[in-house]
Amino acid sequence: MTSVVGHKPFSPSRLAIHATLLLACAVYLVPLVVMLLTSFKTPDDIRGGNLLSWPDVFTVIGWAKAWDSVGGFFWNSVKITVPAVVISTLLGALNGYVLSMWRFRGSQLFFGLLLFGCFLPFQVILLPASFTLGKLGLANTTTGLVLVHVVYGLAFTTLFFRNFYVSIPDALVRAARLDGAGFFTIFGRILLPMSVPTIMVCLIWQFTQIWNDFLFGVVFASGDSQPITVALNNLVNTSTGAKEYNVDMAAAMIAGLPTLVVYVLAGKYFLRGLTAGAVKG
């Protein structure tokens, strides 16, 4: 197969393809480059030069100031995101297991209704959610925000796992039942170990959704418990004093880095997991 790739490296059509791809890459990367360059400039440098110019002196002062203002909120986001992702993924796996392997009367209808959750816009559930959180005594707490994210994410994680588990032959569960395994043993010992690609999809999907969420964060958290997205907004939209673009850019980078890291580490599972069960492997 390598000979096919190496065949005629300089043919015009191949050059055209690569040129187009490079151009597309450049277009997508320019904003990131501008952000990175600006974050390392001094405020004077930013006002004096143009967007794409190289910094006169590289300085991390913007990053240090940014971390001072949003660093605390970064940990808030971690405290919200990690439990919410883990809980919603585990519950989604359990839901998917029941809906595919232990069908009950009306389970198809139940699954259909659950799917509606995937189409609900955030805004629709703001009032009912805040009412519920108030009743539970969880208003303005990190726990409350975790709860909202778990409930909202369940529709998606259930869908992912259910669609993966329906592709697994029933005989596997039957064999385990005859071997003497119970409901949770079958789930924990046989199905979960097979679900690594789907777990990765859920982790990436839920992490991105919850880390990047702004609306729930701004509505259901206040003051010191706010997530980094809200803190970033407060920092950037401040109208007092001179605009420190280097700090803004560095803070935006800090806010965006974790999702980037998750994609790089788990990305290869993402496409594999999304297409799992689509073709017989």
Partner 1 sequence: MASLELRNVHKRYGSGLPDTLKNIDLKIESGEFLILVGPSGCGKSTLMNCIAGLEDITGGEILVEGSDISGMSPKDRDIAMVFQSYALYPTMNVRDNIAFGLKMRKVPQEKIDEEVARVAKLLQIEHLLTRKPSQLSGGQQQRVAMGRALARRPKIYLFDEPLSNLDAKLRVEMRTEIKLMHQRLKTTTVYVTHDQIEAMTLGDKVAVMKDGIVQQFGTPQQIYNDPANLFVASFIGSPPMNFIPLRVQRQGGQWLAILDSGQARCELPLTVADDAALEGRDVILGVRPEQIVVGKGDVGLPAVRAEVDVIEPTGPDTLVFVSLNDTKVCCRMAPDLAPQVGESLTLQFDPAKVLLFDAQSGERLGAQPAERPRNVAQFKGR
Q: Can you give the binding site for partner 1, defined by CB under 8 A?
A: 169, 171-172, 174-182, 185, 189-190, 193-194
Please answer whether residues 127 and 62 qualify as being in contact, where contact means their C-beta atoms are separated by less than 8 angstroms. no
At closest approach, how far in Å is the CB of 168 from partner 1? 9
In the bound state with partner 1, the residue whose beta carbon lies nearer, of 68 and 170, is 170
In the bound state with partner 1, the residue whose beta carbon lies nearer, of 9 and 193, is 193
At closest approach, how far in Å is the CB of 138 from partner 1? 38
What is d(CA 34, CA 21) in angstroms, rounded to the nearest whole number?
A: 20
Among residues 149, 151, 133, the alpha carbon closest in space to that of 141 is found at: 133
Return the half-sphere exposure (C-beta side, CA atoms, 13 A cut-off) of residue 142.
16
What is d(CA 74, CA 16) in angstroms, rounded to the nearest whole number?
A: 44
Question: In angstroms, what CA-CA distances link 55 with 34, 58, 206?
Answer: 11, 6, 37
3-state secondary structure of 133: helix
In the bound state with partner 1, the residue whose beta carbon lies nearer, of 194 and 236, is 194
At closest approach, how far in Å is the CB of 50 from partner 1? 56
At closest approach, how far in Å is the CB of 278 from partner 1? 18
In the bound state with partner 1, the residue whose beta carbon lies nearer, of 181 and 274, is 181
Among residues 158, 76, 70, the alpha carbon closest in space to that of 113 is found at: 158
Distant-in-sequence, close-in-space partners of 250: CB < 8 Å, separation ≥ 6: 39, 62, 63, 65, 66, 67
At closest approach, how far in Å is the CB of 265 from partner 1? 22
In the bound state with partner 1, the residue whose beta carbon lies nearer, of 47 and 177, is 177
